[in-house]
Structure 1
Amino acid sequence: MAASSSFDRTQQLPRHFAWIAVAVAAALFVVNMAVLLLPSSPHSEQMRSVYAQPGVWVPLLSRVATVWLLAATLAWSHARKALDERGAARIAQLRAPASRFGVVYLAAMVINFLVLTPLFYQAQVLFMPGGPLHQHVDTYGMRSLMATSMLIQSALQMLVLVASVWLAAKFALRERSTAPTAESPAALDPGMDASTRNAVALVAAATFVSLQLWVGNAASGWVDTSRDSALLPLLLGWFGVPLLVFALAFWGSWLGAAPEPAQARPFRAVAAAASAFVLLQVACAALAIGGLLWIAGASSSGRSSDSRLVMFAAGMVAIYLVLLVVLLRTVTRRFYRRYL
């Protein structure tokens, strides 16, 4: 009975890692918001009035959800990879891997919060009205520099997140220097977790939509988003569209993983999603440039381009969604060809 209980806990380890990653990120987010918004905090009243605007808190929640989703996906993938490669019997011999993962991940995130966050704030001060750069750069140049700075900060934050999850998982899943058991790695019990096909599709879809949201949040620095925007369009843009993208990405990956991979190999799903995302952006950028050049040529000949522009935008959205499914299906099948 004890052995069965230990085996069951081992089978649930990927899920535990994912929830721990989300819990740590959520706790730090709550602490950060409390520091900013509690009445005892400096400028708390002004900060509360700012964060009460939908144009501020909706994108903020989207960024937070992106971090949680990516952290949970990577944490789940590390644990599932260990189960696939070593088998449940060897993983069950580890001492409190979930607790060790949580401690190391929390420490890494706290260091990030205490070290990188102040540096990012100092960088933002440079672009504030009256900041050092305002004396040397005009308004347009300032906006471009600020957007570039936000893009670099976003990339650094993603690297820190990926490295933190990797470090925590490596420490938690490290084996003691004992002779390994002779048991070969075995697939997970289908009753204990999602099927390998569903697991591949979930990891790929979560990775794809995380990249989509991360790039969208980074690119928002180049767009003058109004804080007076209505709530419904903001919710549709920051949450409705990502949910649609997630559903289509899941479908494409699920089709690509048919009939059923022998093992989940989650980082192949991560690589497939990242590859499909890059290919999709390149393809759509090329199509967009070609379409805009065609519209510009039509407008220079005296013909109205407004209707063409609307049709082109609608067509690009449709092409993006179709290519999303096709590319994920194709790339996922290529990455999992040896396991099907």
Structure 2
Amino acid sequence: MALMTSPASIAHAWRLPRDFALITVAVEAAIVGVHFGRQLWPGSGHEGYGLDVWAGMAANLAMSWVLAAALAWSHARQALEVRGGARLAQLRGPRVRHAGAYLIVRVLDYFVLSPWLYGLGLLYMPGGRLVQLAMLVLSVWLATWLALRQGTQASAASFDAGDADAVAPASASPGRATVALLIAAVSASIQIWCAMVTDPWHEAMRTMDRVAPFLSWVAPPLLVFALAFWGAWLGIGRGPLPTRVRPFRAVAASVLAFVLVLAGCAAVILAGLGLLEPSQTSMAGVGDLVILLAALVPLYPLLTVLLTRFITRRLYRPYL
């Protein structure tokens, strides 16, 4: 016998992407509140951290939250587009299951894996940071998989994908800005995360005034986000988007654009080093390197916008 699903419950199911993203950030904030509360407790030995350390921690957390929220939104949106809102409306407590699973995995990451990496001296090395990034991605995937897997077989006989899409609310199509925001969020997160792995400006920041930590950790994410959003906006083009927006195509566009931008900048550096004439003085060599690095300042935003536009257009061309 077919199971009946009301339009209100279907509309509620179509809000799962937004709810999963908010739940993910809320869980992260709760864990961080407990974690920092322990560190700031009198006698913990962490009260004397400088502004540069706290600024770096805040930037790391912000990029983690943005990436986790974007991935949680993408997983839930993908499930809606593949299975339909009518099937997901019959799930029992997907939001509670997502919160519980994500909380358990992230607690293990914060209070078991991270102290273990710290004890091995790997937490602030590239390998340890990459392990943390992998754990974050896997945590979101596992939590969303557990939240969305139960109950779909029972409802499969009642609705097919076409019926579910036919009763999707008018707000189901997220629009051009939402897709561009998703691409920009993932782009900014992975680029700043990789920058934190190498930490290129940490030592220079220590020699500057107290404004430097704020500018060095806040300005780059905002700049990368703005550039990636602009490129994605141009790549998607004008006109309404279909209901099926393929969120993981946006994630793939972000990753591919980042790889191509990195490869383009590396190629320019290698080509520039090959063209520089060997100098007899160290000062002249330093001057050549400064000129080469200065040439990357306008090149990086140009590559970010153009390559993000190109990759987005290529991946979304069949659906626009």
The TM-score, its normalising length taken from structure 2, stands at 0.88
1:312 to 278, 292, 295: 292
Aligned to 2:110: 113
Is the Cα–Cα contact under 8 Å of residues 280 and 324 in structure 1 kept in the other structure?
yes
Alignment match of 2:33 (pick from 11, 27, 30): 30
Say yes or no: does 1:163 pair with 2:138. yes
Structure 1: where are the runs of 5+ without partners? 125-145
Confirm or deny that 1:326 pairs with 2:293.
no
Aligned counterparts of 1:239 and 1:106: Cα–Cα separation in 2 = 27
Cα distance change of structure 1 residues 117 and 307 upon mapping to structure 2, 3 Å threshold: closer
Which position in structure 2 is the counterpart of 1:173?
148
Question: How far off its partner does 1:300 sit?
Answer: 4.2
Aligned to 2:319: 339
State the one-letter code of the partner of 1:204: I
CA contact (8 A) 1:154 1:218 kept: yes
Alignment: residue pair count: 309
- Structure 2 CA distance for partners of 1:97 and 1:308, relative to 1, 3 Å: same
Moved more, 14-23 or 312-321: 312-321
C-alpha deviations, 1:257-297, integer Å up to 9, x for none? 224442211111101110110111011011012223434x1
Which residues of 2 match residues 253-292 of structure 1 at below 5 A? 253-259=232-238, 260-262=240-242, 263-292=244-273
- Residues 1:5 and 2:2 are matched in the alignment: no
Q: CA RMSD in A?
A: 2.5
Contact 1:199–1:264 (CA<8 Å) still a contact in 2?
no
SS of residue in 1 equivalent to 2:92: coil
Determine the C-alpha separation between the residues in 1 that align with 2:303 and 2:39. 42
The unaligned stretches of length 5 or more in structure 2 are none
> Contact conserved, 1:56 with 1:227, CA < 8 A, in 2?
no
Give secondary structure in 1 for the equivalent of 2:149. Answer: coil
Q: 1:156 to 1:7 in 2, by over 3 A?
A: same
Aligned pairs for 1:39-50 (under 5 A) are 39=42, 43-44=43-44, 46-50=45-49
| Correspondence 1:292-303 to 2 at 5 A | 292-295=273-276, 297=277, 299-300=279-280
Identity over aligned pairs, percent:
40
For the residues of structure 2 that align with 1:318 and 1:35, how far apart are their CA atoms? 43
Q: Distance in 2 between matches of 1:171 and 1:302?
A: 59
Equivalent-residue separation in structure 1 for 2:296 and 2:200 (angstroms):
22
SS at match of 2:6: helix
Give the distance between the partners of 1:280 and 1:221, measured in 2 at CA: 18
1:194 aligned residue: 174
| 1:17–1:72 CA contact under 8 A, matched in 2 | yes
